[in-house]
């Protein structure tokens, strides 16, 4: 048990206030579906196959910006945990003092943050717990299901920053630039805007995503939500894991045909090339941190309800004590969301994409007091925004472009990647 530390809470105008941070975790009976526990306001979520973490309230919040955002966040969190008082009676990954977070994709992004909630409910390996965090700790709160979420009322979906035709032209220009040389792969994103009749109750799409995509990590942090199939980095008791996805084909719904498509994906030279770039970038980034690594020679095909991906799980044993945020800094952006070589691909994205990605394709997840945690790549995601109709939601998708990419095919792939959130909104 550490000493009490006066934590700086960042307010909306950047003001700070001294806040003593105390945390206590106790085991509870299984509370049932975790997402059903969330209130409408100030909720956070990280769910995979029904287990994970849900939380609400704000004990503290920290914002970061610029190229040093990961390092700054890791340093701040280390200071907080070093001096906080934590009583953890469960001792599982996700219990004890936790912060949820999202990070901007780009170095000039301003919307990176860590949020320490007031109440966290977790479940893993058949055990459930509740963590309370604040300036003083009273009785363990009663954990029960809340009111049913309101269904989204979408007025219409519309093109975002650029039209469909303009985006195909952008892809064609990227292919031309790649053919000139200097870049092997670039990832281009596009957006779609859902106009709603009323502000979104995000619990509704979260519930739909968790049911439809149980093998993905369904998340919500600060108005940013989605269900990602890609784990940027998991650090758990010295073992690091990163799941790489690159190379995609849309499913048809016919199992026999989909099996044939999976075989063609596994044999596709274009998709294998794209995948190899992504795996190499992750392995190279993790190697300095590991005493040993396992990088499979060939990918497997990951089957999701709407698409199939080439996938590789890279694992390693950490060389020295570190933070999952420090590893995330080394890994982001991987070739799966930026391109190869990274610096040239990012310059091409800035030149062609015409889109502020915000937190799309940036890391999203959680970190515990030991520095362990899980951070996915924020794919299949959307940002809740204010809009003239009461609210709007901006959906994102991206595709890896290589020398033989076909613009119409890439647009179809992007459409497929928009399906999860679009369907969760009722579209």
Beta bridge partners of residue 315, listed in sequence order = 241, 294
Identify the CA nearest to 420 among candidates 225, 252, 249: 225
Give the angle subtended at the CA of 347 by the CAs of 346 and 351, to the nearest 5°.
115
Structure tokens at 224: 């940013």
Alpha-carbon distance of 395 to 383, in angstroms, equals 7
Residue showing tokens 């990832």: 187
| 31 touches 121 (CB < 8 A) | yes
Write out the two tokens for 107: 């170095």
Structure tokens at 93: 């990954």
Number of alpha carbons in the 13 Å side-chain half-sphere of residue 396? 27
Peptide bond into 265 cis (omega under 30): no
d(CA 126, CA 224): 29
Euclidean distance between CA atoms 224 and 125, whole angstroms: 27
Q: Which residues are catalytic?
A: 185, 230
Evaluate the omega torsion of the peptide bond into residue 333 and state whether it is cis, within 30 degrees of 0. Answer: yes
- Contact, 314 vs 295, CB < 8 A? yes
Taken as a whole, the chain contains a residue count of 427
343 Cβ neighbours under 8 A, 6+ residues apart: none
Q: How far apart are CA 362 and CA 353, in angstroms?
A: 16
Residue from 145, 157, 131 nearest 368 by CA? 131
Integer Cα distance of 258 and 377 in angstroms: 26
């Amino acid at each position: 048990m550490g000493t009490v530390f006066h934590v700086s809470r960042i307010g909306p105008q950047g003001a700070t206030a001294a806040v003593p941070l105390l945390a206590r975790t106790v085991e509870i009976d299984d509370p049932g579906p975790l997402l059903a526990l969330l209130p409408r306001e100030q909720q956070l979520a990280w769910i995979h196959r029904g287990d994970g973490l849900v939380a609400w309230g704000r004990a503290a919040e920290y914002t970061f910006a610029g190229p040093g955002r990961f390092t700054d966040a890791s340093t701040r969190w280390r200071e907080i945990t070093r001096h906080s008082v934590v009583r953890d009676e469960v001792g599982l990954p996700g219990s004890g003092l936790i912060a949820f977070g999202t990070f901007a994709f780009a170095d000039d992004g301003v919307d990176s943050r860590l949020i320490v909630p007031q109440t966290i409910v977790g479940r893993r390996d058949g055990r459930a717990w509740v963590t309370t965090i604040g300036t003083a700790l009273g009785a363990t709160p009663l954990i029960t299901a809340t009111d049913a979420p309101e269904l989204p009322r979408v007025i219409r979906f519309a093109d975002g920053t650029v039209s469909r035709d303009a985006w195909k032209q952008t892809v064609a220009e990227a292919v031309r630039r790649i053919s000139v040389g200097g870049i092997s792969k670039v990832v281009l994103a596009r957006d779609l805007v859902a106009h709603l009749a009323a502000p979104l109750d995000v619990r509704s799409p979260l519930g739909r995503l968790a049911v439809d995509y149980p093998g993905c990590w369904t998340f919500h942090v600060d108005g940013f939500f989605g269900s990602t199939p890609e784990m940027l980095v998991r650090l758990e008791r010295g073992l690091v894991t990163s799941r790489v996805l690159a190379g995609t084909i849309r499913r048809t719904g016919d199992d026999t045909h989909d099996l044939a498509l999976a075989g063609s994906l596994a044999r596709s030279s274009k998709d294998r090339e794209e995948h190899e770039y992504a795996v190499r970038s992750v392995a190279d980034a993790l190697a300095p941190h590991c005493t040993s690594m396992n990088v499979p020679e060939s990918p497997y095909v990951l089957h999701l309800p709407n698409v199939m991906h080439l996938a590789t799980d890279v694992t390693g044993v950490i060389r020295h004590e570190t933070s999952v945020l420090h590893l995330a800094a080394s890994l982001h952006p991987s070739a799966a969301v930026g391109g190869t070589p990274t610096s040239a691909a990012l310059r091409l994205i800035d030149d062609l994409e015409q889109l502020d990605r915000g937190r799309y394709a940036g890391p999203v997840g959680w970190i515990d007091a030991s520095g362990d945690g899980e951070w996915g790549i924020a794919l299949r995601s959307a940002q809740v925004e204010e809009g003239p109709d009461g609210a709007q939601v901006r959906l994102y998708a991206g595709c890896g472009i290589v020398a033989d990419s076909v613009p119409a095919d890439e647009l179809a792939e992007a459409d497929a990647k928009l399906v999860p959130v679009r369907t969760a909104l009722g579209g």
